[in-house]
């Protein structure tokens, strides 16, 4: 196997973190800003790209291309590697960035590849490759909610994603079709056919409030869905902030005090 084999525990409920146990010389990689805590004896090092074997085989050019691709999916050029340099087992933990669930992915059991929405990746065993996956259909690229570019996780080790609200997985049988909100789609295995469908109907389009397009997912394969996309959460927070500012006047101040926001 090409990837480090790591043990893990997922802790917490609404604001989870994953605790990874590293044997001597084992390494975990993570996005900048996801680190929570680690035992003494773990060495932290910033690396260019994801440090996977695929990237290293390409030399300097391969590292540059791999890191550049990460910019397209909204990730940083650099990642952080946490290596156990001690003799015994050591632990390092990574926290979720907002309320939701951490999803463990055993890539070996998932065909070696999972396609996910941008910013879903949290951390992984060293050797897992984090790259980009272009959606080939024009409709999917333009109207796919999160855009034309998604990220792909490849390898035979453990990787961890994070998504908002409650997250559940659904196994699709051959030719089984489901339609979901584009923002609620978190990830899918490579065997699932992913496309975009126009909802149709002038009333649905103008007054439906659910957007103009569905994501259509056809089996066989496995998909992961979230109940609270971070874009929806951010939109509600911004809308609430605007409404509070628009209240203004004396009455608005009284309303704030009654709500417990006496500022």
Report pLDDT digits (tens) over 128-181: 988 888 665 544 444 444 445 788 999 999 999 999 999 999 999 999 999 998
Residues 95 and 76: their CA atoms lie apart, in Å, by: 17
Which residue intervals of 27-119 are DSSP H helices? 53-57, 59-72
Residue 64 included in any domain: yes
Mean per-residue pLDDT, 90-95: 97
Contact by Cβ (8 Å): 153, 124: yes
Mean per-residue pLDDT, 63-79: 62
Confidence band for 259, pLDDT divided at 50, 70 and 90: very low
Q: What is the pLDDT of residues 203-223, one digit of tens each?
A: 544 444 445 678 889 999 999
Residue 71 included in any domain: yes
Residue 154 has a pLDDT of 93
Say whether pLDDT at 240 is over 50: yes
The set of residues, in sequence order, having a beta carbon less than 8 Å from that of 26 and lying 6+ positions away, is 4, 5, 6, 83, 84, 125, 126
Residue 222 included in any domain: no
Residue 188 included in any domain: no
Contact by Cβ (8 Å): 115, 134: no
Residue 161 has a pLDDT of 95
Contact by Cβ (8 Å): 223, 176: no
- pTM of the predicted protein model: 0.78
Residue 137 included in any domain: yes
Q: Smallest Cα–Cα separation from 63: which of 74, 75, 76, 47? A: 47
Residue 147 has a pLDDT of 46
Tell me the longest C-alpha to C-alpha distance in the chain.
67
- Tokens read off for 92: 């390092």
Domain count, the chain: 1
Residue 226 included in any domain: no
Which pairing describes strands 129-134 and 213-218: parallel, antiparallel, or unpaired? Answer: unpaired
Using only C-alpha atoms, the chain has a radius of gyration, in whole angstroms, of 21
DSSP-assigned letters across all residues of 137-158: SHHHHHHSSS-SEEEEEESSSE
CATH number of the domain residue 75 falls in: 3.60.160.10
Contact by Cβ (8 Å): 116, 152: yes
Residue 62 included in any domain: yes
In whole numbers, what is the pLDDT of the chain averaged over residues?
A: 79
Q: Which domain holds residue 30?
A: 7-161
Q: Does the CA dihedral 119-120-121-123 come out positive or negative?
A: positive
Question: Which tops the pLDDT comparison, 160 or 245?
Answer: 160
Say whether pLDDT at 84 is over 90: yes
Say whether pLDDT at 199 is over 50: yes
Contact by Cβ (8 Å): 161, 118: no
Residue 113 included in any domain: yes
Residues 215 and 262: their CA atoms lie apart, in Å, by: 43
Residue 138 has a pLDDT of 44
Q: For residue 76, what is the enclosing H or E element? A: none
Confidence band for 93, pLDDT divided at 50, 70 and 90: very high
Tell me what percent of the residues of the chain surpass a pLDDT of 90.
45
Mean per-residue pLDDT, 9-17: 92
Cα distances (Å, whole numbers) of residue 135 to 51, 88, 141: 25, 44, 6
Say whether pLDDT at 8 is over 90: yes
Highest-confidence segment of 16-30, 38-52, 75-89: 16-30
């Amino acid at each position: 196997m090409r990837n480090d084999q790591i043990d893990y525990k997922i802790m917490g409920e609404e604001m989870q973190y994953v605790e990874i146990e590293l044997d001597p010389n084992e390494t975990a990689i993570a996005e900048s800003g996801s680190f929570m805590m680690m035992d003494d004896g773990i060495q932290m090092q910033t690396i260019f790209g994801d440090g996977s074997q695929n990237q290293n085989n390409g030399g300097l050019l391969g590292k540059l291309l791999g890191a550049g691709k990460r910019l397209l999916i909204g990730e940083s050029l650099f990642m952080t590697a946490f290596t156990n340099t001690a003799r015994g087992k050591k632990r390092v933990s990574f926290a979720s960035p907002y309320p939701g669930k951490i999803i463990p992915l055993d890539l070996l059991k998932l065909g070696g590849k999972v396609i996910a929405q941008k910013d879903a990746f949290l951390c992984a065993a060293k050797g897992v490759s984090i790259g980009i996956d272009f959606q080939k259909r024009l409709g999917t690229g333009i109207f796919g909610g999160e855009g034309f570019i998604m990220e792909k996780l490849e390898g035979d080790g453990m990787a961890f994603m994070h998504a908002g609200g409650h997250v559940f997985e659904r196994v699709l049988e051959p030719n089984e079709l489901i339609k979901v909100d584009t923002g609620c789609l978190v990830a899918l295995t490579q065997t699932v056919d992913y496309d975009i469908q126009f909802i149709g109907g002038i009333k649905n389009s103008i007054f439906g409030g659910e957007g103009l397009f569905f994501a259509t997912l056809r089996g066989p394969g496995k998909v992961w869905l979230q109940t609270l996309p971070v874009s929806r959460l951010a939109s509600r927070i911004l809308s609430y902030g605007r409404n509070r500012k628009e209240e203004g006047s004396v009455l608005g101040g009284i309303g704030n005090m009654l709500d417990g926001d006496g500022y």
